[in-house]
Structures are given as structure tokens and as C-alpha cells.
């Protein structure tokens, strides 16, 4: 990911009002106030371009893929495999064989856990994660540890919410078989030094899985430049529908892995004596896949590139900087996660007001933020808070919405005295 | 939706200064309640005299609604027997969930929770303490629950 883009003003060419017109849901009124949607890190909204691509597929092209000679089956196959090629270009993978469609990041990580780790790791082997991980990058590895007897190690973070890199290096050793890390922390917004992590892990002989769910919407990701062995992300945080996600894996690794789920589409031949498995990527896509989701994901990638991911990143960095400064001036607000390199996520608490109450009061003003543990309970434990409120920014948020957040927070202060 | 309906003065007061807050040494019943959605954690301790709740304390971390509801509950149930508490819980539940529920003047200060029903996402915050109390009472005079 690019160096910290903070202190970059929104480029004058970035027309956020035009962007907003692409997102019909943003004109919704909530509790008598215009919606201020600051929860894109949980799930981003979809632009018309995505909604229309999905509708167009369902209206004109739907049938089952890889199965028929009739026209619609071929159209559906072309749309689905076309989406795979779109994904390949978006993350600069070498081949569409390395792009596995999944339900989302969670399924992609579980696939690697069960098809790679479970078959290869033994007692004495170690999986190294960080203290910043989302539950989706913790629990699948705990399950593998129970299944194989291997051990889970956790690299610590500091009070700013940054990975303690020296401590990470100390935990990395000859027993480490896999390093599984977030590219960007969902709870705090911290951008992890994944290039250095990959280099160190490879030097130690370990593979690296990167959970990129929070990274791909905010920065250009090049899986080959990163040197990632596995990279995972979800469509719905990328302005695409839910239920579609991606596992990128290096071809030689995927080739050596057994299938995860069995069924149709993942086989070449089936007899009661023995079945032979399909080639990559279909070996890992048992059953009828989510074609309309894949089409929506491809459309979302087209959309992002039409805006320019660097322009989106600069716009979000500008909003983050504004919001950080504004929240610092509200009495009783404590920012949780103040890393030097951050994506557009602002996690915070307000003294004397529980995050859940904050969420309700903000909602009464039309401001949607996430409140709770953000599926990262160990992060909350580390900072000694039960929950935080989290505002996250996307391509469609505005300076006016930062002001609306600030005014809603002052309202909360007023209610609680 | 009016915030003042939810965050009434009684609620804010019990949130700031929760009554009967803390633990009971060697309680006759205790239970831990947890709302994984928002991270609320609550423990309820009861001392019984026969069927009657002689003393009650609670502790935990939670939002204003869950803290105030627990505080109000401890005041309301202290001195009452199990049957009366069960009946009270039913009336509180109606208050929290039924938009068409007529005003129930017998609820006293607990009626301050009526605003919660306009906020469906918050009903669980207000009812957590009651479910936890139920669990604490189920374990009977001789048993200490969960831990």
C-alpha cells in the first residue's frame, strides 16, 4: 500500500457530489435527517453501475455456468469467467487460475485453513498472526490448531495500535509455517507493513496469507508486487454485493492443495470407484457459484477504476485528517488507534457514554456508525474498552458529513451531561 | 423518535449512580449475562430468605440502558418473592416490547424504560438483567451458578 497519504487535500478533480449521485441509497432520510453513512468498513453501499450490471445479468444472461451448450449458459459462463479476469487485473494476479471466487473473506481464509494448513501442519508447527486481527483471521487458525496440534502465536501491538515489528520478528522462526495478517485493521484502521512482513516471513521459510478485506477499497493492491502467497477480500466492502469474495493463491500452492468442498463443477469425472478433480480455479468452486455477485464485483472494480483508486484514497485521507482533528477537539473523546499509517477508519470512545448509547444518539441524528467490538474482541481487550464507536469513510463521504458527525457527538455530550 | 423518551432523567441518574452495585459475599444464587452483540456483561447476585429476595447486587459493564435497567430492577425486586418477580418481569417485558401496552402505573420507576420500545435494537440491553436474574434464581438457595 502507498505511503501514508495524509495531509493530501482532496484533488480538485474529485467531484464527490457527482459520485454521490451514483449511490441512490445516500438520498435516504433517517429519523428525519439526511443519511450520513459512515459505516463503509462494515459494508459499503453499491453504485447504480453495480446495481445495473447485476440487473442486466439477471435480466438477460442468467443460466447455470459451465454446463450447457445453450446460449444463456454460454452467456452466463462468459459473464462469470469475464468477472474472474476483471478481478485478476484488479489485483494484478498472473493468471485467472489463481482467482477463486468465495462467499467472502471469511470463506477464503477458511478454505486456506482447511485445504492447505490442515493437510500440512503438525504438532510443533506454528501459525503467526497479529493482535489486530478480525475474528475471521483468528478462529479458522484456532480450528486448525485443534485439528492438527499446531500452535497459534500472536504478535503484539503498541498503544497506537501498530504492530510491534521487532516482537513480530522474534516470534517468527523455523517452526513458523504460516503468517496470517490483516493488510488494514478493520477495528482501528492501522495499515500493516505487509511488504516487510512478507519479506521477513519468506526469509524464515513461512508462507503469508493477507486478509485484504479493508485494504482493497482504499489502495491499489498488487499481489505479485506484494509477494503474497494468499490474498483474500470481500466484494461488499468494495461497493459490490454481499456473498461474493476472492481468494487469490499462487498457482503452485493451489495446484498442490486438495479440494475443500466436493460436488458439481469441481470434478472432471465421477464414478463410484473414483472421481477426478477439475483444474484450477474450478477445483475450489464446488456447486453453482454466485454468478450475479461476481458480475457485480467486476462492475464495482470498473467503477472504482473510473474514479481512480488513488483519487479515492486521497479523498478519504483528507476526510480522515479532518475528522481526526475535529474529534480531538470534543471533550471526552478518546481516539482508539492512532497509528502513523491509517486507512479511513476512526475508532473512538466518549467518556461516560457507552459506545452503544453513542450509536443510538448518532442514529437519531441520521449518522450511521458501527458500535461494538467490530469482530475484534482481542483488540478491545488490549485497549481495555468493551466497545468503541467506529466511523469509516468511503468514496462518497463529504466534509459536510464529518461536520454532521461532530455535531451529533456534541448532541451525545449534551444528552449525557 | 425522541432521544428524551429513551434517555429520561431517571435512566441517566441510575446510569451515573447505579444502586445496589457490587457483589454479595456467598450469594445463594448468581448468574452472568452477556450480550455478545454489544459486549454488555452483567452479573447478578441474590441472597434469599425462603422464596423472598432478601438482598441483591449487580455488577458489570454496559450501556446506559442496561446499567439503568439493572439498577432499577434491583430496587424493584428487593423484598419480593419469586412469584412476584416473575410476574413483574412479564409486565416489564410487555412494557419494553408492546407498542400498544397501556400505561402500567404499578411499575413505578421501571416505567421510565418505556421509551426503549421505540428503539428495537436496544430492547435486549434493557432485558438482559432480568434474564440474568431469572437464571440466578433458578439455581436455588444452595447452588452458585456458572462459575
Q: How far apart are CA B94 and CA B3, in angstroms?
A: 21
In a domain, A388, yes or no: yes
B40 and A355 within 8 Å at the Cβ level: the answer is: no
Domains, in order of start, for chain B:
3-138 (3.90.1010.10)
* Contact residues on chain A for B7, CB-CB shorter than 8 A: 357, 361, 415-416
Whether the pLDDT of residue A5 is over 50: the answer is: no
Are A273 and A321 members of one domain? no
Are A268 and A314 members of one domain? no
Q: How far apart are CA A197 and CA A162, in angstroms?
A: 13
Axis-axis angle for helices A71-91, A291-307 (nearest 10): 40
Reduced to 3 states, what is the DSSP secondary structure of residue B48?
Answer: strand
Nearest chain B residue (CA) to A384 = B61
pLDDT digits over A137-152, tens only?
Answer: 999 999 999 999 999 9
**Can you give the residue range of the structural domain that contains A119?**
51-305
The residue from A145, A150, A375, A395 that is catalytic is A375
In a domain, A45, yes or no: no
A386 and B61 within 8 Å at the Cβ level: the answer is: yes
Are A231 and A367 members of one domain? no
**Neighbouring C-beta atoms of residue A239, cutoff 10 Å:** 28
Q: Is A376 on the interface with B (CB under 8 A)?
A: no
CA-closest candidate to residue B6, choices B133, B124, B118, B141:
B118
- Final residue of a domain: which of A278, A305, A332? A305
Pick from B8, B38, B60, B66 the residue to mutate for testing the A interface (most A CBs within 10 Å): B38
Distance from the Cα of A148 to chain B's closest Cα (Å) equals 29
In a domain, A323, yes or no: yes
* Contact residues on chain B for A360, CB-CB shorter than 8 A: 3, 6, 119, 121-122
CATH number for A365: 3.90.1150.10
Nearest chain A residue (CA) to B41 = A386
In a domain, A44, yes or no: no
Q: How far apart are CA B26 and CA B143, in angstroms?
A: 10
pLDDT digits over A265-286, tens only?
Answer: 899 999 999 999 999 999 999 9
Are A120 and A246 members of one domain? yes
Q: Is A261 on the interface with B (CB under 8 A)?
A: no
pLDDT digits over B47-93, tens only?
Answer: 999 999 999 999 998 999 999 999 999 999 999 999 999 999 999 99
Among partner residues B1, B41, B64, which is closest to A357 by beta-carbon distance? Answer: B64
Nearest chain A residue (CA) to B67 = A354
Are A390 and A412 members of one domain? yes
- Final residue of a domain: which of A275, A305, A335? A305
Are A324 and A285 members of one domain? no
Among partner residues B6, B12, B62, which is closest to A360 by beta-carbon distance? Answer: B6
The complex scores an ipTM of: 0.87
Distance from the Cα of B17 to chain A's closest Cα (Å) equals 12
pLDDT digits over A312-329, tens only?
Answer: 999 999 999 999 999 999
Q: How far apart are CA A87 and CA A314, in angstroms?
A: 23
B125 and A416 within 8 Å at the Cβ level: the answer is: no
B40 and A386 within 8 Å at the Cβ level: the answer is: yes
Whether the pLDDT of residue A1 is over 80: the answer is: no
In a domain, A222, yes or no: yes
Among partner residues A364, A372, A377, which is closest to B38 by beta-carbon distance? Answer: A372
Among partner residues B3, B39, B61, which is closest to A415 by beta-carbon distance? Answer: B3
Do the bridges between strand A33-34 and strand A230-234 make them parallel or antiparallel, or are there none, so unpaired?
Answer: unpaired
If pLDDT is split at 50, 70 and 90, which confidence band does B32 have?
very high
Structural domain tally of chain A? 2
Which range (A146-160, A338-352, B29-43, B67-81) has the least confidence?
A: B29-43
B39 and A31 within 8 Å at the Cβ level: the answer is: no
- Final residue of a domain: which of A277, A305, A333? A305
Whether the pLDDT of residue A218 is over 70: the answer is: yes
In a domain, A243, yes or no: yes
Q: Is A351 on the interface with B (CB under 8 A)?
A: no
Q: What is the dihedral of CA A230, A234, A239, A242, to 10 degrees?
A: 160
Are A229 and A323 members of one domain? no
Among partner residues B1, B39, B125, which is closest to A364 by beta-carbon distance? Answer: B1
Q: How far apart are CA A13 and CA B39, in angstroms?
A: 43
If pLDDT is split at 50, 70 and 90, which confidence band does A41 have?
very high
pLDDT digits over B87-135, tens only?
Answer: 999 999 999 998 887 888 889 999 999 999 989 889 999 999 999 999 9
Are A265 and A351 members of one domain? no
Query: What is the CA angle A310-A109-A396, rounded to 5?
Result: 30
Are A243 and A313 members of one domain? no
Are A147 and A262 members of one domain? yes
Pick from B12, B14, B16, B39 the residue to mutate for testing the A interface (most A CBs within 10 Å): B39
- Mean pLDDT in residue range A211-222: 97
CATH number for A246: 3.40.640.10
Are A177 and A270 members of one domain? yes
End-to-end CA distance of chain A: 42
User: How many pairs of residues across A and B have Cβ atoms under 8 Å apart?
Assistant: 51
In a domain, A42, yes or no: no
**Is residue A375 flagged as an active site residue?**
yes
Are A181 and A90 members of one domain? yes
In a domain, A40, yes or no: no
* Contact residues on chain A for B40, CB-CB shorter than 8 A: 356, 386
Whether the pLDDT of residue B25 is over 90: the answer is: yes
Distance from the Cα of B86 to chain A's closest Cα (Å) equals 28
Amino acid at each position: 500500500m502507498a505511503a501514508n497519504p495524509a495531509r493530501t487535500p482532496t484533488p480538485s478533480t474529485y467531484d464527490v457530489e457527482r459520485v454521490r449521485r451514483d449511490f441512490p441509497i445516500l438520498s435516504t432520510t433517517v429519523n428525519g435527517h439526511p443519511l450520513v453513512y459512515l459505516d463503509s468498513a462494515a459494508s459499503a453501499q453499491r453504485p447504480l453501475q453495480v446495481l445495473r450490471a447485476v440487473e442486466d445479468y439477471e435480466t438477460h444472461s442468467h443460466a447455470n455456468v459451465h454446463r450447457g451448450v445453450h446460449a444463456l449458459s454460454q452467456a452466463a459462463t462468459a459473464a462469470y469467467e469475464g468477472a474472474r479476469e476483471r478481478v485478476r487485473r484488479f489485483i494484478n494476479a498472473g493468471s485467472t487460475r489463481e482467482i477463486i471466487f468465495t462467499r467472502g473473506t471469511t470463506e477464503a481464509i477458511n478454505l486456506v485453513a482447511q485445504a492447505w494448513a490442515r493437510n500440512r501442519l503438525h504438532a510443533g508447527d506454528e501459525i503467526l498472526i497479529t493482535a489486530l486481527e478480525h475474528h475471521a483471521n483468528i478462529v479458522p487458525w484456532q480450528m486448525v490448531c485443534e485439528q492438527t496440534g499446531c500452535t497459534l502465536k500472536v504478535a503484539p501491538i503498541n498503544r497506537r495500535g501498530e504492530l510491534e515489528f521487532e516482537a513480530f520478528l522474534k516470534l517468527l522462526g523455523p517452526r513458523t509455517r504460516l503468517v496470517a495478517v490483516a493488510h488494514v485493521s478493520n477495528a482501528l484502521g492501522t495499515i500493516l507493513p505487509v511488504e516487510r512482513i512478507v519479506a521477513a516471513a519468506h526469509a524464515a521459510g513461512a508462507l503469508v496469507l493477507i486478509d485484504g478485506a479493508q485494504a482493497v477499497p482504499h489502495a491499489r493492491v498488487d499481489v505479485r508486487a506484494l509477494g503474497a502467497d494468499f490474498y483474500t477480500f470481500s466484494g461488499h466492502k468494495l461497493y459490490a454485493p454481499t456473498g461474493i469474495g476472492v481468494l487469490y493463491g499462487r498457482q503452485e500452492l493451489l495446484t498442490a492443495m486438495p479440494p475443500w468442498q466436493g460436488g458439481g463443477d469441481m470434478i472432471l469425472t465421477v464414478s463410484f470407484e473414483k472421481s477426478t478433480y477439475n483444474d484450477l480455479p474450478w477445483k475450489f468452486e464446488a456447486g453453482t457459484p454466485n454468478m450475479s455477485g461476481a458480475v457485480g464485483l467486476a462492475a464495482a472494480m470498473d467503477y472504482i477504476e473510473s474514479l481512480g483508486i488513488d483519487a479515492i484514497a486521497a479523498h478519504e485521507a483528507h476526510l480522515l485528517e479532518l475528522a481526526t482533528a475535529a474529534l480531538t477537539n470534543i471533550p471526552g473523546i478518546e481516539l482508539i488507534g492512532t497509528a502513523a499509517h491509517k486507512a479511513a477508519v476512526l475508532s473512538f470512545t466518549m467518556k461516560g457514554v457507552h459506545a452503544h448509547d453513542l450509536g443510538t444518539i448518532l442514529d437519531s441524528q441520521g449518522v450511521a456508525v458501527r458500535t461494538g467490538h467490530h469482530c475484534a474482541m482481542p483488540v478491545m481487550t488490549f485497549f481495555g474498552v468493551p466497545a468503541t464507536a467506529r466511523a469509516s469513510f468511503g468514496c462518497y463521504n463529504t466534509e459536510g458529513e464529518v461536520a454532521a458527525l461532530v455535531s451529533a457527538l456534541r448532541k451525545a455530550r449534551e444528552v449525557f451531561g | 423518535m425522541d432521544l428524551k423518551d429513551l434517555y429520561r432523567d431517571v435512566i441517566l441518574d441510575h446510569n451515573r449512580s447505579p444502586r445496589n452495585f457490587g457483589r454479595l459475599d456467598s450469594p445463594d444464587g448468581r448468574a452472568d449475562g452477556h450480550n455478545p452483540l454489544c459486549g454488555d456483561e452483567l452479573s447478578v447476585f441474590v441472597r434469599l430468605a425462603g422464596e423472598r429476595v432478601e438482598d441483591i447486587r449487580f455488577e458489570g459493564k454496559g450501556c446506559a440502558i442496561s446499567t439503568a435497567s439493572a439498577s432499577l430492577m434491583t430496587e424493584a425486586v428487593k423484598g419480593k418473592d419469586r412469584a412476584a418477580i416473575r410476574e413483574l418481569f412479564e409486565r416489564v417485558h410487555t412494557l419494553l416490547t408492546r407498542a400498544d401496552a397501556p400505561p402500567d402505573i404499578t411499575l413505578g420507576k421501571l416505567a421510565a424504560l418505556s421509551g426503549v420500545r421505540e428503539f428495537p435494537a436496544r430492547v435486549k440491553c434493557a432485558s438482559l438483567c432480568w434474564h440474568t436474574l431469572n437464571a440466578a434464581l433458578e439455581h436455588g438457595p444452595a447452588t452458585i451458578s456458572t462459575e
